[in-house]
Structure formats: structure tokens, C-alpha cells
Amino acid sequence: MRWSKQALPALIAAGLVGLSAAAQAPPPSSGSPARFVVVLDAAHGGDDAGGHLANNQLEKTFTLALSVRLRSLLGARGIQVVTTRESDATIEPERRAEIANHARAEACLSLHASESGSGVHLFTSSLAPAQPVRFNAWKTAQAAWVTRSLALAGVLNSALLHTGMSVTLGRTSLPAINSMTCPAVAVEIAPERSADRQTTAGLDDAEYQARVAVALAAALVEWRADAWRAEAHQP
């Protein structure tokens, strides 16, 4: 969807909440070879079960399992991980964004699952890119990071395509993502389907889950390398 001409919505006026100046430093990365943090947000949890998947599986259970698996993979690759939940707990979208913002992460992934569509869906915020300012409106804080979020989505897309998965890229308005002050992408895993819409790998397929997790981990390693390269080229 084309959002490039979008102005900041009128919600700015309603949702103005000053974020702390430290957490809202301009997007250019604070990353360094010594510090590279990834936030994994397992969507839903607790009272919010999310979608109902095949074989009576709940979205909140799937996302937590994926978050745990991905955390292990990233930890093994030397990447520091902050998670928004480690158990079946109810976490409000605002709290998820707070956790991500305090982590000052180089990448934030919000993990989702759905029986609709096919393959992996990568969504970035539909907010129009904006110049970083010292204080951001809470509901549109992601606007200053949208450009980097799109770049992160591109890296994730490449890694997933490299493993032969179908990927759909899109923009959407998710409250948790819109308030994050980091490159943020919502990753929605759907069953893999053939051209005639037959399911070739369901969400309960362990091999499919592992393939997605490994591809996401590989993408984040690549994203870290890009960040380090960019930093090395700076005077």
C-alpha cells in the first residue's frame, strides 16, 4: 500500500505523551559491536488468546513457542535478546512498547500467527516516515523509525525467500508497533500453501516452525552485520 503522502494522523493531538528523551534519541543507531539487542514480542497471551489455529492451537501459545525458539537461536549467535513475555501472561500493547523502548533495541519483532493467507507476512507500520524529534507522540513514535523498519523488513524478506518460503510484505496499523522506537516488524506466520491453496506445511509442523525460526535468526545476524558495517564507515 502506498502511504508515502500520508501526514501524521490527527491522533497525534489525542495521544501526545512525552517519551523520555533518552529513549527517543533519533533513529540513527546506537548499535555497536559490543551491544546489539533484539526485542522479541510474542503477541497476545493470558486473557488474550489471539486467533484459533488448526488442531486447537492458540495463537498465544504458538507465538510464545516461536519466541523461545528464536531467543535460543539468537543467543547462540551472540545476540542479546529481550522478550516481552516468557509465560502465558496478559501484556498490554503499551507495556510491550515500553519494554521495547527501554531496551533501545536494534530490531523489534512482533510475532503473530494466522490460518489466513500463505507463508510469512511481514508488516511494518503504516505511519508516514517522519523526521526524528526530541519528544515523540506515543501513538506515532514509530514514524521516525519507519524507514529503518522497512529496511529490516527487506532483510527479513530476503532471508525467508532464500529458504524457499513465500513472503507477503505489507503495511498496517498495530498499536504496539506504532509506539515502538526501534526498527520494528510484525512477523505473521501462516501455513505454507501451494498455488491451488492446498496446505503443504501447517503451523503445527515442527520442521516448518524450525525453518522459519532459522531464517529469522539468519536475517537478524545479517541485520547486525549491516549495522556494524554502517558504523565502521562512519568517521
Partner 1 sequence: MIPRYQKILFAILLAASLLMSMALWQLRERAHQRLIAGQDSAPTRAPEVALAEQATLLVANDSDGSLMAQLHSLPLPADPGSRARAVLGKLLDLYAAPGAAHSVPGGASSVAQVFLLPAPEIGASQAQSSDAQLAVVNLTGSFAASHPSGIETETLTVLSICNTLFANLPSVTQVRFLVDGQPRATLAGHADLTRAYLAAEAVPADKTRP
**Residue 192 interacting with partner 1 (CB under 8 A):** no
- Residue choice 20, 90, 163, 173 for contact with partner 1 (CB under 8 A): 173
CB atoms within 10 A of CB 21: 9
**Residue 197 interacting with partner 1 (CB under 8 A):** yes
- Residue choice 29, 67, 84, 118 for contact with partner 1 (CB under 8 A): 118
Residues 18-57 interacting with partner 1 (rule: CB under 8 A): 44, 48, 50-52
190 close to 66: Cβ distance less than 8 angstroms: no
Cell of 23: 529513549
In sign, the C-alpha dihedral spanning 154, 226, 186, 65 is positive
**Residue 201 interacting with partner 1 (CB under 8 A):** no
Residue 47 or 207: which CB sits closer to partner 1?
Answer: 47
Give the 3-state secondary structure of residue 41. Answer: strand
Choices 33-41, 190-198, 205-213, 224-232 (CB under 8 A): range interacting with partner 1? 190-198
Residue 197 or 233: which CB sits closer to partner 1?
Answer: 197
**Residue 132 interacting with partner 1 (CB under 8 A):** no
Give the 3-state secondary structure of residue 95. Answer: helix
Residue 101 or 126: which CB sits closer to partner 1?
Answer: 126
Which has the closest alpha carbon to 104: 206, 25, 1, 215?
25
Helix 59-76 × helix 206-233 angle, to 10°: 50
Which has the closest alpha carbon to 188: 153, 143, 148, 226?
153
Residues forming contacts to partner 1 in the complex (CB under 8 A) are: 1-3, 5-12, 44, 48, 50-52, 59, 112-118, 121, 123, 126, 168-175, 178, 186, 188, 190, 193, 197
